[in-house]
Amino acid sequence: MTAPAPKPWIDAIAPYLPGRTTTDSGVRATKLSSNENPFGTGAPARAAYAAEAGTLDRYPDPGATLLREALAAKYGLDPTRVIYGTGSDEILHLAAGAFAGVGDEVLQVRYGFSVYEIAARRVGATLVVAPDKDYATDIDALLAAVTPKTRVVFVANPNNPTGTYSNRSDIARLHAGLPADCLLVIDQAYAEYLAPGADDGALELARGAQNVLVTRTFSKIHGLAAERIGWGYGSAPVITALHKIRAPFNVTTAGQAAAVAALGDDAFVDRSRDHNATWRAWFATTMNAIDGLRAVPSEANFSLILFEGRLTAQAAFEGLMERGYIVRWLPGQGLPHALRITIGTEEETRGVAAAIADMAAAA
């Protein structure tokens, strides 16, 4: 008996592979593979989540009204132009689904977030990959890759999995060089980890431009990864289009409450950002001091370590598992020579650095 055949562009998709939580032997280890907050979730968000335990029998607010209003108040936005999703991943898929299809092109930088390719192929669009500049986003290369078929451009800033960052002038130049019928999606999943005052101007662009969509998430610095809450901001026509294909009731009641509380917990965000900046810098310096290793400059809550000497990334990945650490090895994203390592607690960061140093010395 013959099973129904998927569309060829669906059949060609390589599924998303999440960060592992256990070793090859099935033992739970220190997880530094998914860029989660090592401090967990702030107390106000946990309390708000728990307070909704009595509402499990009711559908959540389909308009996420309180969440949209809280985001608008926090960032100076129009609440009617805020969209929300099951993580920012859903919004990235919505962008491709609403504005690209068969015969269109979706553009991303080399070493971009793996969901971009899935979102493009899911709707039958052709993925175009622009060259990088030493693992960073190359604005000129992106603009050179634009064709009359380009409908969506995905840029993560800071980028995942490299951690690199494009400044305000870079983002402005990219937007200025795109045609008006091309949607620029600026994925800011790690924006809250930037130094205070750092701003790529994406939200400002989205306030005034018709073809810019900014996406963010509560999964990272806010520590709400389990609830999968993302949001985005764009022009009224863009947001209207996204709502047409958005899943109904896509953000849970408890998740909405926790997210609103997290937005008001500046102390937790500041503590998380400051800790990350301190130990990210320490980790990069420590890795760069080891012969054959190089840390790509990062503004996110992880570091991409390049293995360019005797110790290979695969050997380090397997050796770290044996020592009780799970990190991210990304051969499927063209990075067989690199590991992406989340900045954990001080103890975790020192421990994984020591383990790598020991393996490098023995190689």
Give me the pLDDT at residue 24, please: 72
Eight-class DSSP state of 133:
B
Edge to edge, the sheet with strand 82-86 lists 82-86, 229-234, 212-217, 183-187, 150-156, 105-109, 126-130
Concatenating the DSSP letter of every residue in 19-73 gives: PP-B-TTS-B-EE-SS---TT-S-HHHHHHHHTTGGGTTS---TT-HHHHHHHHH
Tell me the pLDDT tens digit for each residue of 217-271: 999 999 999 999 999 999 999 999 999 999 999 999 999 999 999 999 999 999 9
Domains detected in the chain? 14-40+267-362 (3.90.1150.10), 43-264 (3.40.640.10)
- What pTM, to 2 d.p., does this model score? 0.94
Of the listed ranges 7-21, 102-116, 293-307, the least confidently predicted one is 7-21
Q: Between 13 and 72, where is the model more confident?
A: 72
Tell me the pLDDT tens digit for each residue of 120-151: 999 999 999 999 999 999 999 999 999 999 99
